[in-house]
Amino acid sequence: MLMARQTHVSIKTPEEQARMRVAGRLAADVLDMIGEHVRPGVTTDELNDLCHRHIVEAQGAIPAPLNYGGGGGRIPFPKSICTSVNHVVCHGIPGDRRLKAGDIVNVDITVIKDGFHGDTSRMFLVGKCSLQAERLCRVAFEAMWEGIRSIRPGTRLGDLGHSVQRHVEAQGYSVVREYCGHGIGRVFHEDPQILHYGEPGTGLALEAGMTFTVEPMVNAGRRHVKLLPDGWTVVTKDHSLSAQWEHTVLVTPTGVEVLTLGAADRTA
């Protein structure tokens, strides 16, 4: 999300946590479903339509991106998912572009079920990709997990951000600054902002019952980004490749619960 001013961080009750668990699992299920369709020749619009129908018809849920963010002169997001290909950093709008072998694409799914949001994204490699593209996707995945692993009550947000940034920069890549993770619940984007860079020992201290996303955007080149005239699509200024993974998490009394694990990673 775009950075906003920080105010109030909500603590979810056990009942709210249960509903977040359901929404998170549904969002992950959409990514599990779409994986086999992400292949050369498919358009991002076709991916959007498959996800939209799955969310609405099979899940009885709502695709949160559709018409999101209008008002105040802003253009509402016109589709149900985000598809961000190659040098697109985030918020790519599905369209008639056909994926081809060698592309990397982030598919970002947010569903609303029973009033609560689940938000998760993964990178998909289309056919055979360059070693550089594979490595970028792997490092972005590892960076997200470095951040998640740091989470427990008392962790400061600067600690979380630092753990992500350290991993990315040690590989010679850069972390996008203008977009960040976010608190999530009844509201899609709520406090706090989760920066993917930072200074250890600074910032808000985490507490059990907080729910937020960890979603680092990692560029192969420089960190700078620009917004396209469509009002949504964010690209790297230097046109280098960019990769992102996202989970929604809950801070527990002893650590962290990841609410958007795919079926292959769920034990229960």
Site membership for ligand MF3, residue 108 (CB under 6 A): yes
Q: Which residues of 120-157 are buried (b: 16+ CB within 10 A; e: fewer)?
A: bbbbbbbeebeeebebbbebbbbbbbbbbebbebebbb
Site membership for Co ion, residue 108 (CB under 5 A): yes
- Scanning 5-13, 63-71, 132-140, 259-267 for contacts with ligand MF3 by CB under 6 A, the matching segment is 63-71
Cα–Cα separations (whole angstroms), residue 238 to 137, 155, 195, 202, 225: 18, 34, 22, 31, 8
Q: Which of residues 71-100 bind ligand MF3 (CB under 6 A)?
A: 77, 82, 91
Environment class of residue 106 by beta-carbon count within 10 Å: exposed (0-12), middle (13-18) or buried (19+)? buried
Quick check: helix, strand or coil at residue 175? Answer: strand
35's tokens: 């994986």
Which of 16, 29, 103, 119 forms a contact with ligand MF3 (CB under 6 A)?
119
Report which DSSP code applies to 102: T
Cα 33–chain centre separation = 17
Alpha carbons 34 and 41: distance in angstroms, whole number: 14
Report which DSSP code applies to 206: P
Site membership for Co ion, residue 119 (CB under 5 A): yes
Minimum separation from the CB atom of position 117 to Co ion (A): 9
Residue 171 parent element (H or E): none
Minimum separation from the CB atom of position 254 to ligand MF3 (A): 26
Residues 215, 26 contacting (CB under 8 angstroms): no
Which of 213, 233, 240, 260 forms a contact with Co ion (CB under 5 A)?
213
Print the binding letters for residues 165-204 with ligand MF3: x by CB under 6 A, - otherwise. Answer: ----------------------------------------
Residue with Cβ nearer Co ion (119 or 191): 119
- Tell me which amino acid residue 54 is: H
Environment class of residue 15 by beta-carbon count within 10 Å: exposed (0-12), middle (13-18) or buried (19+)? exposed
Which of 62, 69, 208, 238 forms a contact with ligand MF3 (CB under 6 A)?
69
10's tokens: 């909500």
> 187: how many CB neighbours lie within 10 A of its CB?
12
Cα–Cα separations (whole angstroms), residue 134 to 13, 198, 241: 40, 26, 11
Which of 21, 38, 54, 65 forms a contact with ligand MF3 (CB under 6 A)?
65
Residue with Cβ nearer ligand MF3 (82 or 112): 82
Residue with Cβ nearer Co ion (181 or 198): 181
Minimum separation from the CB atom of position 137 to ligand MF3 (A): 17
Site membership for ligand MF3, residue 215 (CB under 6 A): yes
Residue with Cβ nearer ligand MF3 (52 or 91): 91
Q: Which of residues 219-238 bind ligand MF3 (CB under 6 A)?
A: 232
- Scanning 62-70, 97-105, 123-131, 146-154 for contacts with ligand MF3 by CB under 6 A, the matching segment is 62-70
Residue nearest to ligand MF3 according to CB distances in the complex: 65
Q: Where along the sequence are the contacts to ligand MF3 (CB under 6 A)?
A: 1, 65, 68-69, 77, 82, 91, 108, 110, 119, 213, 215, 232, 246
